[in-house]
Amino acid sequence: MILSTRGLTKTYAGVAANTDVDFDLPQGQTRAIIGPNGAGKSTFVGMVCGRIPATRGTVTFEGADITTMAAHERIRAGMAYTFQITSVFPGLPVRENVALAARRWLGSNKRAVTSKTDEVLTRLAITDRADQLAGDLSYGHQRILEIGMGLAQDPRLFILDEPTQGLAEAEVEDFNQLIKSMDAETTILLIEHNMNVVMAVAEYITVLDQGMVLANGTPAEIRSNAAVQEAYLGTGHA
């Protein structure tokens, strides 16, 4: 397993956001985490990324206990992630946004950074926007740029939190194709409300409800799971 958690729990002033989450993600899999609002999805991912300290429990990445490791150390260890709110540098050109992310992984090797930056821009089909300020991009292109900044770090685990939020329908389809093109080279953990996206790209799904794991299964198994239907899919979220 590339990622495992055991008993992962987060409480805020005695209120549990996650309770005893046991989770295993095999290397190379594209996994979606779904659940109703307030199910604890972003808190769980925050603990995996190191942005939120766990109250108790453990996080293991590639066999190493990283529970107390800082977020930036987890990035160096091979994780990349995007958030619900874009985290691009709006005052810098698109190319420099990608290059900054590449430098985080490749260091000061200019040739390697330039090569990786060009590769990512081409892959995302945004080469024609390379000199445009990131802040002038449409919201959808900012989301794509943020994914590119993650790809520039050659992550072994790529975590995306609500990546299609705010995207137009055509942009969502582009996103689906991008994820499918990535799944051969990295493990993907996706938090997503858009069930069409989940069913299109995920090989396996984990459902959270009230901060706990409700179900695990293939898209077909999750779609037909009665408990999931009651907690989530039948409540207008699908």
Q: Is pLDDT above 80 for 231?
A: no
What's the CA gap between 171 and 174, in Å, rounded? 5
CA-to-CA separations, 36 to 39, 142, 192, 206, in angstroms, rounded: 6, 26, 10, 12
Choosing from 101, 134, 154, the residue where a domain stops is: 154
Q: Are residues 167 and 204 in the same domain?
A: yes
- With left for phi above 0 and alpha for psi between -120 and 50, is residue 2 left, alpha or beta? alpha
- Tell me, what CATH number does 198's domain have? 3.40.50.300
231: DSSP letter: H
Helix, strand, coil % over all residues of the chain, rounded to 5: 40, 25, 35
Distance CA 23, CA 3 (A): 8
Q: How many separate domains does the chain show?
A: 2
Mark whether 174 and 67 lie in a shared domain. Answer: yes
What is the pTM for the complete model shown?
0.82
Kindly state whether residues 28 and 131 are assigned to the same domain.
no
The pLDDT of residue 14 is 84
What pLDDT does residue 81 have? 82
Residue 180 has a pLDDT of 84
User: Could you read off the pLDDT of 60-71 as tens digits, one per residue?
Assistant: 999 999 999 998
Choose the weakest-confidence range: 80-89, 132-141, 149-158, 176-185.
Answer: 80-89
Asked whether the beta carbons of 99 and 117 are under 8 A apart, the reply is yes
Instruction: Give Cβ neighbours of residue 8 (< 8 Å, ≥ 6 apart).
Output: 18, 20, 21, 22, 23, 44, 47, 54, 56, 57, 58, 59
Task: Please report, for residues 26, 103, 132, the alpha-carbon distance to residue 227 in angstroms, rounded to integers and kept in the order given.
Answer: 25, 46, 48
> Which DSSP symbol is given to 200?
H
Q: What is the pLDDT of residues 115-172, one digit of tens each?
A: 999 999 998 888 999 999 999 988 878 888 888 888 888 889 999 988 887 777 888 8
The reply to whether 178 and 200 lie within a common domain is yes
Mean pLDDT to the nearest integer, 199-221? 92
Is residue 23 located within the same domain as residue 137?
no
Same structural domain, 163 and 236 = yes
147, 121: one domain: yes
Residues 24 and 69 in one domain: yes
The pLDDT tens digits of the residues spanning 91-117 come to: 999 999 999 888 877 888 899 999 999
Work out the pLDDT band at 181, boundaries 50, 70, 90: confident
Q: Based on the fold, state whether residues 95 and 64 are members of the same structural domain.
A: no
Supply the pLDDT for residue 83. 58
CA distance 38 to 8: 17
Q: Residue 21: left (phi > 0), alpha (psi -120 to 50), or beta?
A: beta
Averaged pLDDT for residues 67-83: 86
Q: Which segment, 64-68, 80-84, 163-167, 195-199, is predicted with the most confidence on average?
A: 64-68
Kindly state the tokens that stand for 26: 């095999």
Same structural domain, 63 and 138: no
Range of the domain at 30: 1-78+157-238
Q: pLDDT by residue (tens digit) across 10-59? A: 999 888 999 999 999 999 999 999 988 888 898 999 999 999 999 999 99
Domain shared by 106 and 39, yes or no:
no
Residues 200 and 163 in one domain: yes
Domain boundary among 154, 175, 194: 154
What is the pLDDT averaged over residues 200-210? 92
